Structure formats: structure tokens, C-alpha cells
Amino acid sequence: MPNLYAIGDIHGQRAMLEELIRRVPFQPEDEIVFIGDFIDRGPDPKGVVDRVLEFKLRHPKTVCLRGNHEDMFLDFLRQQGRYEPNVFMMNGGLPTLESYGLDPRHRPLRLPPLHQQFFQDLKYRHEAGGFLFVHAGLRPGVPLEDQNPFDMLWLRHEFFEAEHDFGRPVVFGHTPMPEILDRLPRLLGIDTGAAYGNKLTCVRLGNKEILGLHQVHVSEVGG
């Protein structure tokens, strides 16, 4: 029977992602949801996207969600003005630009076509196995179809500190914590701070509970 997995915020930590993929017995028929924030802060954002693209070829049911960092990056590349010009750089964007060999003084900024398509195709939310997946959170009291994309990328305490039941467990990242935030059957937070040298987390899910937990610490991969 296929498994359902979710992987937390990676933030450019390719070595941690490689080790996680090595340890977890992913099968081609499994569904794997990446919760977003592939880039920024860590040493190899482009390498993370390269590895995820390769992973998707072997695991076709992989789903990749948009994080706030991908959203800021796209806005920075396109100069759409949805964010202040310095917000992307203030939030750890320099390693991403460097990994792509981009100089913001020289416009336009272009990504490899496969990477451009990857960022454009990222989803805001996903549903599978009786779970809801979203990068940051959902606004309590708002129907799912009416949720604001900005909220799904940026919400923090007003989401996970509310005692709201969304009808299904919500799996999210975005807010780094020392350990997973297990409030099942309502909420499950899986950003365990890979960006800051803590852990990258993968959970195997089933029937509103955690069936398996895999974590990689930066020190385990020579960081």
C-alpha cells in the first residue's frame, strides 16, 4: 500500500536533503509532499531544487508547495512590486542568487527553464490521505476555497494558536521549532529549523496520526 509522507522546510540544505532521501525508504508509488521553502538561507538553494526535480522523476506523485521564500523570490525576479525591494535579500535571499549565479545589478534575471517552471508550478495547498497541507497556515473561520494565498504563505500564531478545527488535520511548516508541533488530529508543524542548523524532518502519515518520523541534523552531514 502506498505511503504518504511530508517533508519540512529545507532552506538550501542540500546535504541534509540527500541524507534524508538516503534514509527514508521512499517507493515509486508513494505520495510525498514538500511543504515549501526550498531556497534561501542555506548554502545550496539551486542544488536543492536540482535534487527535488530529480526526485520527482523517480517519485511521480511528489507534490511541491509554495513557501513564502519562493513567493518572494519570484516577485524579486519579476519586479512585480508585491514585496518591498529589499525584503527578499533581508530574508536570506543572497545565497539563492549566488547559487544561480545571478547579479541583481544586471537585469533581467533568468533561471534555467526547468527551474523557472518549477517555481511557477508550486501549489498553495494540497489534500491527500485525509490531511490538508499548506506552507504556513489557514485563516480560522474562512472556508478553504476562500483562503487568501498570502495567509497560506505567511500566517503564524493566529493559525496554530487558535483552537480551530478545519475538519482535517493541517500539516504545515514556515514557523521553525526545536521539535515537531504535534497537535494531531488538528495540526502538525514540521519545520524543525534546518535553516538554522537544527533538523530536517520527514513524517509518514496515516489515519490522522504519525506513523513514522525521520530527522536529519546538520552535524550528521558534516555541517
Q: What is the pLDDT along the chain (223 residues), one digit of tens a residue?
A: 899 999 999 999 999 999 999 999 999 999 999 999 999 999 999 999 999 999 999 999 999 999 999 999 999 999 888 999 789 999 999 999 999 999 988 989 999 999 999 999 999 999 999 999 999 999 999 999 999 999 999 999 999 999 899 999 999 999 999 999 999 999 999 999 999 989 999 999 999 999 999 999 977 886 5
Which residue ranges form the domains of the chain, and what is each CATH number?
A: 4-221 (3.60.21.10)
Indicate the pTM of the whole model. 0.96
Task: Report the Cα 176 to chain-centroid distance in Å.
Answer: 12
Contact 212, 12 (CB under 8 A): no
The predicted structure's pLDDT at residue 223:
52
By DSSP bridging, strand 209-217 and strand 187-189 are unpaired
The predicted structure's pLDDT at residue 98:
97
The predicted structure's pLDDT at residue 81:
83
Q: Looking at the DSSP assignment, which residues form a beta bridge with residue 188?
A: 171, 182
The predicted structure's pLDDT at residue 110:
93
The span from the first CA to the last CA of the chain, in angstroms, equals 36
**CA distances (Å), origin 210, targets 148, 154, 164, 181:** 28, 25, 20, 12
